[in-house]
């Protein structure tokens, strides 16, 4: 039943417009195949998950999409444009934003400045304007600041805007990082373990937040997550990786029932065991 | 209506008053030439320090190369004024003017072009820049020598005082821009290095410059520089007013830059390079920009310094001295403009002025024992530097007022306790 509904929502949301297409993506670190022949396709409005045991190559895939690593081979097409090997800031300016596994805020700057930096590529005035502090600088700086403040209000951080980012509580730092990534209005958001280190209540709040930003900013989201509660709770479609290769794809229900996935996480032979437990529970 | 904020008025008012009061004291003879020199050198160190603070304090690049660029500014400016005052020849001025003009234009054009083309590797780009620079310098030498007689005639038509001051100011500015252009070329391959490696590479640059200056007369034919014997006969044109004018200019430029989106981009590189890249900031561009600007300041300071004592010696540009601006910046507080300016004056006053006058005769060199001890105590008591993050109101970022949360923005996210 749940499987059916999730497939339906997926079909209804995705109007067939493909936003990201990855084919044959491979990354070698010396002799180590970190990612091998990875492929993935995202339609506009998708909320998909990428899971796998530690060291499966999930973050490497993210790093290649965002330009931190140059792929050894393969193609990444974003809105039909090849982006593999482009510089990170250019990829970001094309509309792909990300957050990091370990929060990477500009920790000695204020909350407001963290968001204002994300607006920098759209500052609207030149370096000369900045040095002379002329009227164009003043006007654009005012607009930029107001936009950032309005944006912080959406994330309920407006009262914190003058606080130094590193002094925020953990949950708010996560929220600020997501806010900062969204400030430049990307089309595709990559979340790298957004629920890491969160308690169950915080994870639930995070799931609400992800649903909210997806509606509000008309986003396509791909997320890496280890907390199965989060992944199974919000993702419509999941790709599972192990040792750099895709071992399964499907809806959360399909993935949960897939013996290869269970074995990847719990070791060979564990699939049969887990099947036994599952039967016991349903009885 | 042009509106100037109160903090700006207070800042400019107080610094202009300070400058004028000191000038009056100098004119009245209350401040001896000895203290006058120390104050002027303090201002020069403040300019070097501000340049380094941009690079190290705000951009996070550990540079020991400031002293090399300072030397380039000093020697090139000195050579221009030396030729003018001693030989009545402006060929130094014209040659260097056309050099910075042509090389600067080629750098700007090539930088635009390389920004558009994908996949030019840094080393071939560097080679192209270098070939263009060398070729255009050769061209500039011939254009400069051709135009020199005409410029000589114009300058001689002016009153001597005005002509000398004009040549001096142009020399200082040309020296600064030359240092900036050299720093761009040097920075291309080196700025890709991580912080510690970058520090070593820039230290290497300072050593190279010193060795070249030692051999400037034999290797390059600059007879007037006299190589390792030291250059003498430079006109002493840097007055207290000039040096303070340049200092105010540098402070205002630094402040305006830092309080803009460009300044935030520069600081974001220091905070987290990877996050900055992911936010769409071209970190290579901002590292280059900051480095070039910082070295421009160093070059300007060098030109000013050369005309204080009228004497330059390669030993003053020894790599050991390149730690001086580093000490000043750390002492004043990394990332504090106020701290750097204050520390530069304090450093010069304490080390060269007060300690020299209170230590008994014959023990002057003991100041190099006392001041490291002062540094040590200081670092133990205030590891963030004298001023830490403090800035005087003019230099402080104006915080936009807190906005009342609008009711329409009551969203699910707003209700969260996340």
**Which of B119, B261, B277, B409 should one mutate to test binding to chain A, selecting the residue with the greatest count of A CBs within 10 A?**
B261
Residue A277 has pLDDT above 80, yes or no: no
pLDDT tens for B362-382 read 887 888 888 888 888 888 888
Domain-embedded: residue B10: no
DSSP 3-state percent helix, strand, coil across chain A (nearest 5): 50, 25, 30
**Interchain CB contact of B12 with A (< 8 Å):** no
Do residues A114 and A184 lie in contact, with contact meaning Cβ atoms separated by under 8 Å? no
More confident position, B396 or B162 = B162
Paired sense of beta strands A188-192 and A96-98, if any: parallel
Residues of A with Cβ-Cβ distance to B119 under 8 angstroms: 85
The two tokens of residue B192 are 């890709």
pLDDT band per the 50, 70, 90 thresholds, residue A1: very low
Residues of A with Cβ-Cβ distance to B265 under 8 angstroms: 117, 120
Given this model, what pLDDT does residue A268 score? 76
Domain-embedded: residue B378: no
Q: How many whole angstroms separate alpha carbon B323 and alpha carbon B259?
A: 28
Residues A89, B280: C-beta atoms closer than 8 Å: yes
Do residues B250 and B48 lie in contact, with contact meaning Cβ atoms separated by under 8 Å? no
Q: How many whole angstroms separate alpha carbon A275 and alpha carbon B3?
A: 76
Residues B280, A121: C-beta atoms closer than 8 Å: yes
Contacts of B191 (CB under 8 A, 6+ apart): B61, B198, B284, B287, B288, B291
Nearest CB to A141; choose among B257, B260, B278: B260
**Interchain CB contact of B249 with A (< 8 Å):** no
pLDDT above 70 as % of chain A: 91
pLDDT band per the 50, 70, 90 thresholds, residue A262: confident
Q: How far is A268 from chain B (nearest CA, A)?
A: 38
**Which of B3, B57, B260 should one mutate to test binding to chain A, selecting the residue with the greatest count of A CBs within 10 A?**
B260
Domain-embedded: residue B23: no
From B82, B102, B104, B103, select the one nearest B93 (Cα to Cα).
Answer: B82
Cα dihedral sign for A171, A172, A174, A179? positive
Domain-embedded: residue B298: yes
SS3 A82: strand
Given this model, what pLDDT does residue A278 score? 67
SS3 B377: helix
Residues A97, B405: C-beta atoms closer than 8 Å: no
Q: How far is B112 from chain A (nearest CA, A)?
A: 15
How does the average pLDDT of chain B come out, rounded? 89
**What is the maximal distance between C-alpha atoms in chain B?**
78
Burial B231-256 (b: 16+ CB within 10 A, else e): beebbebbbbebbbebbbebbbbbbb
pLDDT tens for A159-197 read 888 999 999 998 889 999 999 999 988 999 999 999 888
Residues A130, B282: C-beta atoms closer than 8 Å: no
Do residues B323 and B93 lie in contact, with contact meaning Cβ atoms separated by under 8 Å? no
Q: How far is B412 from chain A (nearest CA, A)?
A: 7
Do residues B296 and B176 lie in contact, with contact meaning Cβ atoms separated by under 8 Å? yes
Number of domains in chain B: 1
pLDDT tens for A30-80 read 888 899 999 999 999 999 999 988 888 999 999 999 999 999 999 999 999
Domain-embedded: residue B67: yes
**Domain enclosing residue B73, as ranges:** 33-321
pLDDT band per the 50, 70, 90 thresholds, residue B335: confident
pLDDT tens for B34-68 read 999 999 999 999 999 999 999 999 999 999 999 99
Do residues B308 and B41 lie in contact, with contact meaning Cβ atoms separated by under 8 Å? yes
Residues of A with Cβ-Cβ distance to B280 under 8 angstroms: 89, 92-93, 118, 120-121, 184
Residues A106, B275: C-beta atoms closer than 8 Å: yes
């Amino acid at each position: 039943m749940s499987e059916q509904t999730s497939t339906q929502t997926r079909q209804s949301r995705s109007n067939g417009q493909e936003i990201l297409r990855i084919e044959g993506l491979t990354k070698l670190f010396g002799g180590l195949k970190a990612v091998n022949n990875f492929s993935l396709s995202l339609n506009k409005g998708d909320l998909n998950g990428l899971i796998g045991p530690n060291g499966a190559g999930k973050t490497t895939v993210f790093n290649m999409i965002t330009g931190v690593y140059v792929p050894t081979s393969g193609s990444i097409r974003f809105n039909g444009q090849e982006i593999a090997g482009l510089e990170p800031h250019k990829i970001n300016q094309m509309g792909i934003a990300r957050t990091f596994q370990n929060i990477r805020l500009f920790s000695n700057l204020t909350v407001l400045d963290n968001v204002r930096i994300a607006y920098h590529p759209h500052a609207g005035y030149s370096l000369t304007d900045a040095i002379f502090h002329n009227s164009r600088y003043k006007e654009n700086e005012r607009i930029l600041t107001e936009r950032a403040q309005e944006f912080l209000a959406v994330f309920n951080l407006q009262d914190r805007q003058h606080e130094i980012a590193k002094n925020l509580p953990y949950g708010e730092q996560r929220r600020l990082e997501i806010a900062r990534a969204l400030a430049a209005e990307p089309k595709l958001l990559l979340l790298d373990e957004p629920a890491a280190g969160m308690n169950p209540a915080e994870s639930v709040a995070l799931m609400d937040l992800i649903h909210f930003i997806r509606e509000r900013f008309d986003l396509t989201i791909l997320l890496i997550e280890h907390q199965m509660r989060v992944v199974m709770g919000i993702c419509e479609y999941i790709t599972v990786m192990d040792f750099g290769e895709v071992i399964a794809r499907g809806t959360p229900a399909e993935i949960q029932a897939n013996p290869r996935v269970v074995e990847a996480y719990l070791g060979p032979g564990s699939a049969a065991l887990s099947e036994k437990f599952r039967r016991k529970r349903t009885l | 209506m042009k509106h100037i904020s109160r903090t700006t008025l207070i800042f400019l008012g107080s610094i202009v008053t300070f400058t004028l009061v000191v000038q009056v004291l100098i004119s009245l003879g209350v401040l001896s030439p000895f203290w006058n020199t120390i104050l002027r050198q303090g201002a020069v160190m403040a300019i070097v320090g501000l340049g380094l603070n941009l690079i190290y304090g705000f951009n996070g690049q550990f540079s020991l190369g400031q002293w090399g660029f300072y030397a380039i500014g000093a020697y090139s400016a000195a050579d221009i004024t030396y030729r003018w005052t001693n030989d009545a020849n402006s060929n130094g001025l014209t040659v260097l003017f056309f050099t910075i003009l042509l090389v600067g234009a080629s750098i700007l054009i090539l930088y635009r072009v390389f920004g558009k083309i994908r996949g030019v590797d840094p080393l071939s780009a560097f080679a192209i820049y270098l070939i263009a620079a060398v070729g255009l310098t050769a061209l500039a030498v011939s254009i400069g020598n051709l135009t020199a007689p005409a410029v000589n005639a114009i300058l001689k038509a002016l009153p001597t005082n005005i002509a000398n001051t004009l040549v001096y100011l142009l020399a200082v500015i040309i020296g600064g821009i030359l240092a900036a252009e050299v720093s761009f070329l040097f920075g291309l391959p080196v700025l890709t290095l991580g912080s510690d490696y970058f520090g070593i590479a820039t230290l290497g640059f300072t050593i190279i410059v010193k060795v070249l200056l030692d051999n400037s007369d034999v290797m390059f034919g600059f007879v007037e520089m006299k190589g390792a014997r030291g250059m003498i006969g430079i006109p002493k044109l840097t007055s207290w007013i000039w040096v303070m004018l340049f200092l105010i200019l540098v402070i205002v430029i630094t402040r305006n830059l830092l309080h803009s989106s460009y300044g935030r981009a520069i600081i974001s590189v220091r905070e987290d390079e990877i996050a900055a890249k992911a936010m769409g900031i071209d970190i290579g561009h901002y590292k280059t920009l900051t480095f070039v600007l910082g070295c421009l300041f160093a070059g300007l300071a060098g030109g000013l310094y050369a005309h204080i004592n009228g004497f330059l010696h390669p030993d003053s540009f020894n790599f050991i001295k390149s730690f001086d601006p580093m000490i000043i910046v750390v002492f004043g507080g990394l990332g504090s403009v106020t701290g750097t300016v204050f520390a530069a004056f304090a450093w010069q006053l304490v080390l060269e002025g007060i300690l020299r006058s209170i230590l008994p005769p014959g023990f002057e060199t003991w100041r190099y024992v006392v001041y490291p001890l002062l540094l040590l105590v200081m670092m133990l008591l205030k590891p963030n530097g004298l001023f830490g993050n403090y800035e005087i109101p003019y230099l402080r970022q104006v915080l936009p007022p807190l906005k009342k949360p609008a009711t329409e923005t009551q969203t699910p996210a707003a209700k969260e306790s996340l």
